[in-house]
Homo-oligomer: A and B are copies of this chain.
Amino acid sequence: MKNFIYQNPVKILFGKGQIARLQAEVPKGSKVMMTYGGGSIFKNGVYNQVTEALKGFQVVEFGGIEPNPQYETLMQAVLVAREQRVDFLLAVGGGSVIDGTKFIAAAIPFEGEPWDILAKGARVRSAVKLGAVLTLPATGSEMNSNAVVTNATLHRKLAFASPFVYPVFSVLDPEVTYSLPKRQVANGLVDSFVHVMEQYMTIPGDAPLNDRLSESILKTLIELTPVALSDSPDYENRANLMWSSTMALNGLIGLGVPNDWATHGIGHELTALHGIDHAVTLAIVLPGLLRVMKDQKRVKLLQYGERIWGVSEGSEEERIEKSIQLTEDFFRSTGILTRLSEHNVGMDTINEIFNRFNAPGARRLGELGNIDAEKIKQILLTRL
């Protein structure tokens, strides 16, 4: 195990009816900006529950935050928040709304051009406090300090992290997920699964506990999938799904071990260039990444195959290939299309992504920082 420092201050309010607790959790006397997305919260009753719980607070609403939240939209919110002297942000939505709200929180007091937070890694020295009401289990944003923002003009998707943007609290009520479209549930399942893989499927980390914690989440997600995608999800299913997706990216399972994140690095480019759903890009990239990097990840791939999929027969090569195929089969079982060609993406895009990672100063990806433009091209070529 490697040295690590960990502190996660997020207060989790989990379960039925917890939205009502907002009244007590939002700091007294706050002027609140309530942020949300495309309006699903008006259909599923969440908007009403939240406004009821915020009675007595001054509330400014800012809706219309997109999936893959856009810099341009978020900057509008920043201007409104500054003008209205908002002092608390309440994100009501999924990962995109929460990520976007984290950026708004950091940008409001930022001196200079907020785009630098994303593009130049400019240091965040403060942020407006925020809370979250989660409506879509997927990204873990409700319990971490990361955010990803897209610049539509530049076709770039960039991340930042700061301890100042941990939500003060997050409300996780599994009941609000009943009305989610299956496509979003599928995306959440796959997103959470790949979050675990990014922190687990690496060179060995001498961390048997972390390995097992990660495997616990993977196995649970697989087990939950059929009912989660059925026509009648039940409370226990959605509760376990919600907590699994939070645990997949609240930082814990990645402590003291190598982290990969190359699948995300490559996937972000597919979203930036083609607007493909984030989780779908992960499902496209991961099988290719595992094949191209299989020597480096051999020990863990064999462990993963045996512990997650029960693959214990055949040569090492056969077991690895079978485990990767089962992973892709699992993704496809959720209805997600895992091939670039199925999304009308071809060589032009692969070449564009190659060029981005081949530019002077471009970063290399992976737990050893050895996934360069050439390897990324190889990975994508296997996914046509």
Contact = CB atoms under 8 A, between A and B. Distances in A.
Copies in the assembly, this chain: 2
A217 interface: yes
Interface in A235-260: 236, 239-240, 243-244, 247, 252, 255-256
A4 interface: yes
Given A9-B7, A255-B14, A1 B236 contact: yes
B3 A256 contact: no
A42 interface: no
Nearest to A248: B209
A80 interface: no
Nearest to A12: B6
Contacts of A318: none
A260 B216 CA distance: 22
A133 B240 CA distance: 35
A2 interface: yes
B216 A212 contact: yes
Closest 6 CB pairs of A and B: A3-B15, A212-B216, A7-B11, A1-B239, A209-B220, A206-B236
Nearest to A173: B3
Interface string A258-299: 000000000000000000000000000000000000000000
B239 A15 contact: no
Contacts of A256: 14-15, 239, 243
A207 interface: yes
- Of the candidates A1, A215, A220, A255, the one having the most CB atoms from chain B within 10 angstroms of its own CB is A1
Interface centre among A6, A209, A215 (most CB of B within 10 A): A209
A122 to B, nearest CB: 24
Contacts of A17: 3
Contacts of A244: 209
B15 A6 contact: no
Interface in A11-63: 11-18
A219 interface: yes
A18 B4 CA distance: 9
A216 B207 CA distance: 12
A317 interface: no
A5 B1 contact: no
Contacts of A1: 14-15, 236, 239-240, 243
Contacts of A252: 252
A137 to B, nearest CB: 12
